[in-house]
Structure formats: structure tokens, C-alpha cells
Amino acid sequence: MILCFDIGGTTIKGALAYSTEDIRLLPRVTTPKDDFTAFVGVLRQAVEDCETKPECVSISIAGVVDEDNGWATVANIPCIHGRDLKADLEVELGLPVIVANDADCFVMAEAGIGAGKGHRVVFGVILGTGVGGGLVIDGKLINANGGFAGEWGHAPVAATQAGNPPAHIPPFRCGCGLHGCIDATCSARGLEKLHELLHQEEKSSQQIIDLWCAGDEKATRTIDVEVDLLASPLALVVNVTGASIVPVGGGLSNSQELLSALDEAVRSRVLRKISRPLVVKAQCAIEPGLVGAAVLGLASLSD
């Protein structure tokens, strides 16, 4: 049995994982964001409450672990930001600890028991507040020791002309400090910025999608530009990785119509000709961070 956590800036979700088919949720706890002692105390209490001692602790965080030095970049939880989180928690808890990015846990969940099950190369995509991703090959996470692989949302590669007819798209500033990232242009907030740029009106991402599905001309233009901006970078990722399936999670993935449009556009731009859907909705809709942490932790026991 392993103890797994999905740690966010607001709450810590926990579960006991006996197998990928037997994951038992624990009560949620408020995240102590500014007090490392209290933060460790929450995890230690969960360990002590286990009827049998866990074999390891597996953690999903909304941040990145630097594979060179082990330092965690977790902007929304100051007390663990800049720490060698794995090493520090192993000392505090007296157990082996695995720490992984939440997008990596998402793709592990999809590759293990979700839409990617049975596929050798799975590239998981997050389309929500941000644009992220993760890569699993032969059941192994590329970022097993931390790292930035899969972060296709961050690089100044967003097209400056998109849609039919082409619209000029300025390189929006991204939260990572660069300009012209897919994250800044095609996330939920990016979709809203695109709509305002094209039509000088403010709409939420959900409103834009709903209007598009209803045949609204302005929303249809916005989605045409959005899909065009997303499809080429994602097709390049598929060509580079050889992914045979691309499960998508995040808020924008709730629109099957949007995923279908993106799938059609991506398949028209990849070298490999695929007649079946390639870009698909993720199947692990409930607690993918916890499920991914469980899959990652259980896999480590058999290595």
C-alpha cells in the first residue's frame, strides 16, 4: 500500500492506493501554505493514521522539480518553494517519497488506466487555466526524476497569423516571462484575450464555446483562430514524440466539439496518417492527480 497526495494551494487531497483498481480517498485538508512544520504535520498525521505502514509516499504538486538539484518550484505554496522537497520529506516522514508535477501525474493516470491504456507513447495535454503536458513512454514517465519535458505551452512559438482568413495575433505576454507562448494565447484566459482582440468584446471562455456551438459568427471566428494556433504546435509534438494518443484534460476539454475540431486539425498536420481520433478527452476525470500519483508510486514498487 502507498499513501498518495495531490497538493494544491488550497487543499491537500489524499488516498491510500492498494492497486490501480483500489484507491481509497481520504478527507481533504487545508494546505498550510506558509508553515513547513504544519505542512509536514498534515502528511505525518496521514501516515500515522494508516493501519499498516505505507511502502512509500507519492505526491502530485502544481509545480516543477529541477532534476539537477531537486529543488521544487511551487509558486502557490511558499513553504515548499525552493526546497529539495523529496529529500526533506524523506527525512521528516521516514519513508521513500516521490514528487511529480500534476500534469505528469495526469498523463500517468491516462497512460495507466485512462484513454492512453495500451498505447506505447502517450502525450497528455492540459487545456485550462494554463497549457501544459506530460509524456509517458512504455509506461515510464519521462520526468521520472523531475524536469520540464512536456511543457509545450511555454516557448515563443505561437503563430502571429492564424485563422481563415488570417488574423494578426500579437505575441501576448506569458506568466513565465516570455511573449508568444501557447499558454498565453490558447489557455482559457488566452481564448478570452483572443476574442476581445478579434471582436472588442469581453466573454468568458465558456460563453465563447457556448456561443460557437450555437452558431454565433464572432465566436466561430475566435474558435477558428484558437484551433489554428493550437494545432500546429501540437502536431509538431506528436511528430517529435511519436505519440499515438493525446488525452486532454482541463476546463476546455469539457467541450467535445472543441476537442473534435482540434483533433481534425492536428491529424491533418501530422506526418503519420491516422484515421481514428488522436486528440481525445481524458478518461480519468475524477482526481487525476491522485490517480496519477498512485500509478507512479505503485510502479516504483515493482522497479
Instruction: Let me know if residue 47 belongs to a domain.
Output: yes
Q: Which residue range is the domain that position 226 belongs to?
A: 116-281
Instruction: Let me know if residue 240 belongs to a domain.
Output: yes
CA distance 125 to 132: 6
Do 188 and 149 have their domain in common?
yes
CA distance 182 to 41: 38
Q: Which three cell numbers stand for residue 21?
A: 483498481
pLDDT tens profile 280-300: 999 987 788 888 888 888 888
Residue 46 sits in a domain whose CATH number is: 3.30.420.40
pLDDT tens profile 46-87: 999 999 999 999 999 888 888 888 888 887 889 999 889 999
CA distance 57 to 75: 22
Do 77 and 163 have their domain in common?
no
Per-residue pLDDT for 214 more than 90?
A: yes
Residue 303's pLDDT band, with cuts at 50, 70 and 90, is low
Do 122 and 233 have their domain in common?
yes
> How much is the pTM?
0.88
Instruction: Let me know if residue 195 belongs to a domain.
Output: yes
Compute the average pLDDT of residues 240-268.
96
- Predicted pLDDT at 150: 87
Do 125 and 147 have their domain in common?
yes
Residues, the chain: 303
How many domains does the chain divide into? Answer: 2
Instruction: Let me know if residue 111 belongs to a domain.
Output: no
